[in-house]
Structure 1
Amino acid sequence: MHQTNTAFSDPPRVPAGFSIIAFGDVHGHLDLMEAILLKAQAHAARHPDRRHIVISLGDLVDRGPDSAGVVARVMATVPGCELIVLRGNHETLMMAFLDGDPEATTWLSWGGLATLQSYGVDTEGASLLSAGDVEHLRERFRARMVTTHLDFLRTRPLSVSFGDYFFVHAGVRPGVPLNLQAEQDLIWIRDEFLLSAERHEKKVVHGHTPAEAPEILDNRVNLDTGACYGGVLSAALFEDDRVEIL
């Protein structure tokens, strides 16, 4: 087992002069995400002396009504801000489905049908138990998928770090240095990470596992509050050594 360096500050800090806003799993809810981006834009306008960074923690697509619109929006600009979009497990599964991975057909029942519909694919009457129907859905999706959207999603990073914070979709495997984390853990891990009280090299900011409210713990911050299940889309502002839930 690797040993990690628990050297982040207490309280943790972002670099001086930075304002970072991170938000959780959007899952096709463009209206909720737009509200967060407008708050980020307004904050940047009020504080022109700071460097403003907005981070999506992944899972832009599936379950909600407008995955295509969400992807298009994060490809555009947020005035006064730099936008960083991390890759989640749902984007990964969607791309595997497009690539023909037979194990990725589970994506359809995990919210993928809503994504197909948002790209104009007719899913009415399709049986997810029929190999022929699944293949027809795949071919229709390939024909409808916007090439620039797919290129954008394929090049999304799995994590990003600023100061004492490590931003990622799902979490990290305890005991493994951050630079040696496996992709599978960064986008899929749950219990091993969530149940650990270990302080990692940096404080981890993540989504992936819905909670009733944002969780700010000693070793991690969870911003997934189940927007796709009727919850809110949560975001947090990180400045200096403080964290403020928006």
Structure 2
Amino acid sequence: MKGLLSRILNRGAPPVEPEVAPASADLQPERPFVAIGDVHGRVDLLLEIDRLIEARCPGWPVVFLGDYVDRGEQSRDVLDLLMSVSPQDTPPVVCLMGNHERMLLDFLDDPAKNGPRWLRNGGLQALASFGVAPPRGGSTDPAALDEVRERLAAAMGAAMIAWLRARPLSWHSGNVWAVHAAADPELPMTDQSDNVLLWGHPEFLRKPRADGQWVVHGHTVVEAPQASAGRIAVDTGAYATGRLTAAAISADGVSFIQTGEG
């Protein structure tokens, strides 16, 4: 990311030595890249991992796997930073949509219908990051949810909402695909449904793909990052554990870069 996020705070940090997964003859990205797991409102970890990536993989393209908002306390700060980078940067930075961005947008589109689920799943923390109080009538009061929706939309602004709506659901380099949640192992990657890419698939973690395609993903929290059977999992529950994980992916293998605990 050119150290772009790091330079905002003008801070430095020593690199950590990544763990390395064995190389696979099937792992063939067009060029090396870095995939970053679920940030969930932890701008401190986002800035830290940016420094570590700059030290280990300078100039590599970066793809964020979604879930920038909710749960953690700094959703707004995370979005502000990510909106400052783009696929047109050198190196390019791509930000995918996660299911939590989808829930936030669904709330904005229909607060009475979609508000209760979003608020139960970290939306309260996202509201607080924008300085918006929770619904005074409770999470099932349509009038209160409408009021919160108006205040949140005003606090976010049209540009941020449009940026969220424009997030792609997948990205790939060679035979390595980046998605938020999962892919149906029975379907070509180009035929995946939005729902599967955002929310998962029951066979994704159980059945390897037969087409030689690899999938790097977040969404499902793992104790340690993993690369096997055509899947690369990097969601290590950063908002709760303090461990935000990135996968540095090349034809030589997969190395994991991770922030410290706390």
CA offset digits 1:47-89 (Å, max 9, x no partner): xxxx520110001111101111101111124985311000011
**For 1:208, what is the secondary structure of its paired residue?**
coil
Aligned ranges 1:164-243 → 2 under 5 Å: 164-243=175-254
1:6 corresponding residue in structure 2:
none
How many pairs were matched up?
Answer: 231
Q: What root-mean-square deviation, in Å, do the aligned CA atoms of Structure 1 and Structure 2 show?
A: 2.0
Query: Would you say 1:75 and 2:83 are equivalent positions?
Result: yes
Structure 2 unmatched ranges of 5 or more: 1-23, 258-262
2:106 corresponding residue in structure 1:
96
Task: Identify which range, 126-135 or 55-64, moves more after superposition.
Answer: 126-135
2:158 corresponding residue in structure 1:
147
2:54 corresponding residue in structure 1:
41
- Kindly state the Cα deviation for residue 201 of structure 1 after the two structures are TM-superposed: 4.3
- Kindly state the Cα deviation for residue 44 of structure 1 after the two structures are TM-superposed: 5.1
CA distance in 2, matches of 1:192, 1:170: 12
Query: Would you say 1:114 and 2:129 are equivalent positions?
Result: no
Aligned ranges 1:13-28 → 2 under 5 Å: 13-15=28-30, 18-28=31-41
Structure 1 unmatched ranges of 5 or more: 1-8, 46-50
CA offset digits 1:102-154 (Å, max 9, x no partner): 43221111111111111111228551132232222112112211222111111
Whether contact under 8 Å (1:14, 1:241) holds in the other structure is no
Paired AA for residue 83 in structure 1? V
Cα distance change of structure 1 residues 181 and 167 upon mapping to structure 2, 3 Å threshold:
same
Paired AA for residue 10 in structure 1? A
Paired AA for residue 199 in structure 2? W
Whether contact under 8 Å (2:225, 2:235) holds in the other structure is yes
CA distance in 2, matches of 1:143, 1:227: 28
**For 1:13, what is the secondary structure of its paired residue?**
coil
- Kindly state the Cα deviation for residue 197 of structure 1 after the two structures are TM-superposed: 2.7
CA distance in 2, matches of 1:43, 1:198: 30
CA distance in 2, matches of 1:225, 1:111: 17
**For 1:243, what is the secondary structure of its paired residue?**
strand
Paired AA for residue 29 in structure 2? V
Cα distance change of structure 1 residues 222 and 175 upon mapping to structure 2, 3 Å threshold:
same
TM-score normalised according to structure 2 size: 0.82
2:61 corresponding residue in structure 1:
53
Paired AA for residue 104 in structure 1? N
Alignment identity in percent? 35
Whether contact under 8 Å (1:13, 1:242) holds in the other structure is no
Task: Identify which range, 54-63 or 72-81, moves more after superposition.
Answer: 72-81
- Kindly state the Cα deviation for residue 231 of structure 1 after the two structures are TM-superposed: 4.6
Paired AA for residue 188 in structure 1? W
**For 1:235, what is the secondary structure of its paired residue?**
strand
CA distance in 1, matches of 2:234, 2:250: 16
- Kindly state the Cα deviation for residue 174 of structure 1 after the two structures are TM-superposed: 1.7
**For 1:193, what is the secondary structure of its paired residue?**
coil
TM-score normalised according to structure 1 size: 0.87
Paired AA for residue 36 in structure 1? I
- Kindly state the Cα deviation for residue 20 of structure 1 after the two structures are TM-superposed: 0.7
CA offset digits 1:164-201 (Å, max 9, x no partner): 20100001112111111110011111432112233344
Paired AA for residue 82 in structure 1? P
Task: Identify which range, 32-41 or 191-200, moves more after superposition.
Answer: 191-200
CA distance in 1, matches of 2:246, 2:137: 36
Cα distance change of structure 1 residues 235 and 210 upon mapping to structure 2, 3 Å threshold:
same
